[in-house]
Structure 1
Amino acid sequence: MTRLNGSTHGPVKAAAAFVAGGALAGSVVFTLLRILQPESFWFVLATAFVPYAVVGYPVAAVLLGYLRRTTAPPLRGWVTGGIVLAVFGTGYHLGLTLPSYLGEHPRGDPDLVVMTLNLHLGTGDAEDAVALVRRQRVQVAVFEEVTPGERRRLLAAGVQELLPHEGGAAGRGAAGTVVFSAFPLSDSARIPLDHGSYRIKVAAPTPFWLVAVHGAQPLVAPGDWRADWDVLNQVVPELDGPVILAGDFNTTVDHAPMRDLLGDRFQDAARTSNAGWQPTWPRGLGLLTIDHVITSAPYAAISTSTYLVDGTDHRALVARLRIS
């Protein structure tokens, strides 16, 4: 086995210590954010990255294990403490992560297929979006950031040939949210969030309330983000019967407002279908899961998938649901 000589051992050890310290410190911060949920602006943003602790802790543990062998006895106890902390942190975050990969969920053919897609200020490729609706046999599609021009392009691409019923409204910039459905829509009402959001009754074979969501960005308007969640956590629990929420929430399942909403009644479709790591933003790199389909009984997720659509900055999220 090749051994490091003296000229390289020092720099390698220093690099390992630097990476281990950074990974452990960052992971501890993520754990504290997940537990304490501070509301300061930067903390809210950082909470979106909590899932990365499940990688950071093991990296720290492995590197600290390497360093411990060559650490002087007076400092070895500190390194050992770091290893123990990394092991416990790994266990804690595995407990948060594994339900996205393991567990029971419905199987078989879907009773309902729901899609959400942010069209990036009306610049998304409408033909590509409608082709995705056709390929995935989507029955309810929620589009965010639909400008009047983008709505016309969706219609020209044939979206109403597939989904003839329309709800919501187009708008300037990020304000427009439009729903296209295979089933009749009624009792539509705007929900006063920062961007266009609506509550609509969907006359599917098993009727449900659809909440089409486009929440504020905490990066741009942290106060509006909190206010939007105050509204959602007031409006949604008051809806009777089955409820499905779909859209760009600008929130992950690690944020406290989302966890408050989910509670015992609602389930995140990607998590409960054991879809695993399924980021929706940004489109190419895929760092965060901020777009969601959320269901209440009797709807439960069979599977979810994400897809790339030209011209967008989000990935489309398609959820296949079954009545359980």
Structure 2
Amino acid sequence: MVIEERPVPVVRRTRGGTRATLVSGLLIAALVPFAVLTALRLVGYDGNTYTIAALALTPYAGIATLILALLALGLRRWWTAAVALVLTFTIAAMVLPRAFANEQKALGGKHVRVLASNMLGGRADPGKIVGYVKEHQVDVLSLTEMTPEAVEALGRAGLFEILPFHVLHPAEWASGSGLVSRYPLTPLKLSGDSDAKQPSASADLGDGVRIEVVAVHPAAPMWDRHAWVAEAKDLPYADAEHDIRILAGDFNASLDHSLFRELLTRGYVDAADQLGKALTGTWTNGMVPPVPIDHVLADKRTAIADFKVLETPGSDHDAVYAEIVLPS
């Protein structure tokens, strides 16, 4: 019996096949970090310093995954395109509602105009801040990263002639904060261990109406993640047992951080989110696109009449302004 030997076929990967595999691999690798980011956002886990920073860029991640989806479709990588589109729609579902205003309650109480400005270690233009106070008839001004020199510069610019009442805790570089008001202020201690850095006060608006305001500035998470969490948790709840409360300042957090969303569950609404302006960035270091980490949070018993982001020369933060309507 003769057994015929047949040659074993040799499978060779063509150059085109190798290139196609490489392209597919690169597309999948590009999607992985966005998939991780989306998962963190969905489960409400801020994670470490790097993921906290990445979560602030969630709206831009939606744009990136859409670009990857279109690229994958153009290259006929159907499954990769499908995954990219799922990520895009998931991020869009979380982010796009911030571009639409919510209906506000019809309230007949006093209007309170609040401005919050991070002065970047006192470098912000004091004349510009005072100009905004005049233009918008600001009642309460929250200042963070306020140095002793900045207080003097604001005084020379005429701030304390317009807003004569204040609770100021100036300090070198980033730790100084304060409240300046048109109305008499009584210092409070609403922010626990971080009270010196996040001062609070009760403002007497007249006619028996008082509000409580906190100048907010928890630590930047890239420098101290644990202090960021602790100082944010120091911030008070808003409830019917107290006067109307307002938190205003640099939160070092956006709506894509679970830490910030937890603050909202304490009885507050984000003024920007209420008016469909919560996608407008307020901070950038020049290397990343603007992200919205400066906020005015108002007691949910109030209504929001106006919100603006105002460019502030000299600072890496824009100021934020809100007009809040109190209940009768």
Quick check: 90-99 or 236-245, which moved more?
A: 236-245
Instruction: List per-residue Cα deviations over 1:171-201 (Å, max 9, x = no partner).
Output: 2221211111112111423732397101211
* Cα distance in structure 2, aligned partners of 1:143 and 1:105: 30
Deviation at 1:38, TM superposition (A): 4.5
Counterpart of 1:4 in structure 2 is none
Using the size of structure 1 for normalisation, the TM-score is 0.83
* Cα distance in structure 2, aligned partners of 1:14 and 1:311: 49
* Cα distance in structure 2, aligned partners of 1:202 and 1:263: 24
Deviation at 1:276, TM superposition (A): 4.6
Counterpart of 2:8 in structure 1 is none
Q: Say yes or no: does 1:225 pair with 2:223.
A: no
Counterpart of 1:71 in structure 2 is none
Counterpart of 1:308 in structure 2 is 311
SS at match of 1:203: strand
Deviation at 1:17, TM superposition (A): 6.0
Deviation at 1:270, TM superposition (A): 0.8
* Cα distance in structure 2, aligned partners of 1:243 and 1:222: 26
* Cα distance in structure 2, aligned partners of 1:148 and 1:299: 34
Counterpart of 2:126 in structure 1 is 126
* Corresponding letter in the other structure for 2:291: L
Contact 1:105 1:301 in 2 (8 A): no
Counterpart of 2:217 in structure 1 is 214
Deviation at 1:245, TM superposition (A): 0.3
Deviation at 1:271, TM superposition (A): 0.9
Q: Which runs of 5+ in 2 are unaligned?
A: 1-15
Counterpart of 2:7 in structure 1 is none
SS at match of 1:251: coil
Counterpart of 2:253 in structure 1 is 251
Q: How does 1:1-324 map to 2 (within 5 A)?
A: 20-21=27-28, 24-36=31-43, 37-68=45-76, 79-106=77-104, 111-189=111-189, 191=191, 192-193=193-194, 196-204=197-205, 206-232=209-235, 235-237=236-238, 240-263=242-265, 265-282=267-284, 286-323=289-326
Instruction: List per-residue Cα deviations over 1:292-313 (Å, max 9, x = no partner).
Output: 1101133222332212222111
* Cα distance in structure 2, aligned partners of 1:16 and 1:271: 40
* Corresponding letter in the other structure for 1:279: G
Contact 2:169 2:196 in 1 (8 A): no
Structure 1 277/198 Cα, relative in aligned 2: closer, same or farther at 3 Å?
same
Contact 2:69 2:84 in 1 (8 A): yes
Quick check: 44-53 or 151-160, which moved more?
A: 44-53
Question: Which structure is higher in helix share?
Answer: 1
SS at match of 2:308: strand
* Corresponding letter in the other structure for 2:292: T
* Corresponding letter in the other structure for 2:54: A
Larger Rg: 1 or 2? 2
Q: Which runs of 5+ in 1 are unaligned?
A: 1-8, 69-78
* Cα distance in structure 2, aligned partners of 1:287 and 1:18: 31
* Cα distance in structure 1, aligned partners of 2:46 and 2:62: 20
Structure 1 43/276 Cα, relative in aligned 2: closer, same or farther at 3 Å?
closer
Instruction: List per-residue Cα deviations over 1:89-137 (Å, max 9, x = no partner).
Output: 2222222222211243349999221111111111211112111211222
Instruction: List per-residue Cα deviations over 1:144-179 (Å, max 9, x = no partner).
Output: 111111101111111122211111321222121111
SS at match of 2:259: helix
Contact 2:271 2:298 in 1 (8 A): yes
Instruction: List per-residue Cα deviations over 1:185-238 (Å, max 9, x = no partner).
Output: 114237323971012112235422111111101111112112212322xx3357
Quick check: 187-196 or 131-140, which moved more?
A: 187-196
Contact 2:162 2:182 in 1 (8 A): yes
* Corresponding letter in the other structure for 2:294: D
Structure 1 16/294 Cα, relative in aligned 2: closer, same or farther at 3 Å?
farther
Q: State the aligned residue count.
A: 303
* Cα distance in structure 2, aligned partners of 1:22 and 1:153: 51
Deviation at 1:264, TM superposition (A): 6.6
SS at match of 2:52: helix
* Cα distance in structure 2, aligned partners of 1:225 and 1:264: 17
Instruction: List per-residue Cα deviations over 1:243-295 (Å, max 9, x = no partner).
Output: 11001111111111111111272111111111152111127675211111101
